[in-house]
Amino acid sequence: MAAKVNHNFSMLSESYLFSEVARRVAAFEKAHPEREIIRMGIGDVTRPLPPVIVEAMVHASEEMGDSATFRGYGPEQGYPFLREAVRGYYRRSGVELDVDEIFISDGAKSDLGNIGDIFDPACSVLVTDPVYPVYLDTSIMSGRKVSYAAATRENHFRPAPPDPERDADGNPVYPDLIFLCSPNNPTGAAMNRKELSDWVCYAKEHGSVILFDAAYECFIDETETEGGGIPHSIYEIPGAKSCAIEFCSLSKKAGFTGLRCGYTVIPKELRLDGISLRDLWFRRQSTRFNGASYITQRAAEAVFTEEGEKAVQENLRYYRENAAILAGMLDDCGIYYTGGKHSPYIWMECRPPVKMAASGSQENLPCTSWDFFDRLLQEVGVVGTPGSGFGTAGEGYIRLTAFSTREKTETAAERLLKYFR
């Protein structure tokens, strides 16, 4: 028998969303080298690592250069010093974890893409639409059946658990795996305690497992009180430990997009058919993952120190202020958006400038997210991410990020304000 390819890949879009964004930007820059382009599309950070983190890396590197302190392969689950630090961080939110329930990774993206390994291939998946492409694409690669919960302006981009689909006999069919992200990428919307509790109850009632992406929890505004406030962790919701796996990353919290480090939590009480999912994931990681580097994990440990937390919060404040600048510009223009408060993302409606809309000339009006993307690139010199790249419900929107420098954020806001008016 000859080797065969995985034909599920043929079900994917031709290119990864951000690769297409990069291609279009590169083509425009080549044709217009004189234009200054401000990139606000990909959510990459710009603030440098705080000195306390750099110092930790330097010290760890020096340890690796000394035979007395050199370290080879580390534990696949992560070094105990970092797992204890993560455990302490959860405790601040009132969540108690066993250190053995914490797995250190090279970033949330990897674990979110790989977690399907411990579930039966026949398990169905529910994602919100719009959706972070990793949830959808990895599910398609695995040949899973995917259904959608539409996030729309009407539900404030915070969808409730959907009504069940029906099989051929009319029986209700519920999803086995549910991807949730709050604060959300790409919409910036954050579920409050009541809304997240509804999802936990739904999962427990129907035997589903929630795969909860908490990568942006560090941006949550603690002053929010509506619906009981915004949880930092799904485990703040009673009963969630028996139905949810949580993924988190230091990429945005501490600027680790280039270092790569995150963590996944699988409570011991989460079991299916009497089998511990924590144990299955440990077995999977032991086979396929050699762990994040010692140097990186020492840097991550520094994030959770008092000095590290203070420095990290200063960088987060900088990005929050960038988001406020963009949000203020949209408020001035009367353009609908979500995000910007609990999130570094601004999810804005694609709306033509007033002068174009007033002219009634249809040829001047953007008709798709990609049309709007091209207009902003070519006429304003600002790069966003087309909403339709995150799903059909994202059509008519574009995502901007607050991760640029202050100078570029202010310049982009000025350009956009002038353009829309």
Q: Are residues 61 and 175 in the same domain?
A: yes
> Residue 63 maps to which CATH number?
3.40.640.10
**Number of domains comprising the chain:** 2
pLDDT tens, position by position, for the chain (421 residues)? 799 999 999 998 877 788 889 999 999 999 999 999 999 988 889 999 999 999 999 999 999 999 999 999 999 999 999 999 999 999 999 999 999 999 999 999 999 999 999 999 999 999 999 999 999 999 999 999 999 999 999 999 999 999 988 888 889 999 999 999 999 999 999 999 999 999 999 999 999 999 999 999 999 987 777 778 999 999 999 999 999 999 999 999 999 999 999 999 999 999 999 999 999 999 999 999 999 999 999 999 999 999 999 999 999 999 999 999 999 999 999 999 999 999 999 999 998 775 555 555 544 455 799 999 999 999 999 999 999 999 999 999 999 999 999 999 999 999 999 999 8
Nearest in space to 375 (alpha carbons), one of 319, 328, 308, 420? 420
Q: Are residues 281 and 364 in the same domain?
A: no
Separation CA 59–CA 31 (nearest Å) = 46
Q: Tell me if 220 sits within 8 A of 232, measured CB to CB.
A: yes
Separation CA 405–CA 411 (nearest Å) = 10
With H, G, I as helix, E, B as strand and everything else as coil, classify residue 108. Answer: helix
Nearest in space to 376 (alpha carbons), one of 38, 132, 130, 45? 38
Separation CA 120–CA 64 (nearest Å) = 41
Q: Are residues 188 and 79 in the same domain?
A: yes
Bridging pattern class, strands 38-39 and 177-181: unpaired
Residue with tokens 């290119």: 15
Position 4 in a domain? no
* pTM for this prediction: 0.94
DSSP state of 380: I
Q: Are residues 70 and 141 in the same domain?
A: yes
Residue 289: count of CB within 10 angstroms of its CB: 17
Question: Which pLDDT score is estimated for 147?
Answer: 96
DSSP 3-state percent helix, strand, coil across the chain (nearest 5)? 45, 15, 40
How is residue 277 written in tokens? Answer: 């999912």
- The phi, psi pair for 147, rounded to 5°, reads -120, 170
Burial class (CB in 10 A: 0-12, 13-18, 19+), 211: buried
Burial class (CB in 10 A: 0-12, 13-18, 19+), 343: buried
Position 273 in a domain? yes
Amino acid of residue 196? L
Q: Are residues 264 and 352 in the same domain?
A: no
Question: Which pLDDT score is estimated for 1?
Answer: 75
Among 305, 333, 366, residue at a domain's last position: 305
Position 27 in a domain? yes
Q: How many helices (H) and strands (E) does the chain have?
A: 13, 17
Q: Tell me if 245 sits within 8 A of 210, measured CB to CB.
A: yes
Position 116 in a domain? yes
Position 246 in a domain? yes
Could you tell me the residue range of the domain that residue 162 belongs to?
A: 52-305
Q: Are residues 257 and 399 in the same domain?
A: no
- The phi, psi pair for 287, rounded to 5°, reads -85, -40
Q: How would you classify residue 214: left for phi > 0, otherwise alpha for psi between -120 and 50, otherwise beta?
A: alpha
With H, G, I as helix, E, B as strand and everything else as coil, classify residue 161. Answer: coil
Among 290, 305, 320, residue at a domain's last position: 305
Q: Are residues 64 and 95 in the same domain?
A: yes
Position 1 in a domain? no
> Residue 351 maps to which CATH number?
3.90.1150.10
Question: Which pLDDT score is estimated for 362?
Answer: 46
Position 5 in a domain? no
Q: Are residues 294 and 312 in the same domain?
A: no
Q: Are residues 238 and 312 in the same domain?
A: no
With H, G, I as helix, E, B as strand and everything else as coil, classify residue 275. Answer: strand
Separation CA 20–CA 415 (nearest Å) = 24
Residue 110: count of CB within 10 angstroms of its CB: 18
How is residue 225 written in tokens? Answer: 């009180």
Q: Are residues 107 and 148 in the same domain?
A: yes
Question: Which pLDDT score is estimated for 355?
Answer: 56
Among 258, 282, 305, residue at a domain's last position: 305
Question: Which pLDDT score is estimated for 126?
Answer: 98
Question: Which pLDDT score is estimated for 17?
Answer: 84
Q: Are residues 159 and 189 in the same domain?
A: yes
Separation CA 404–CA 392 (nearest Å) = 27
Q: Are residues 32 and 133 in the same domain?
A: no
Separation CA 201–CA 240 (nearest Å) = 8
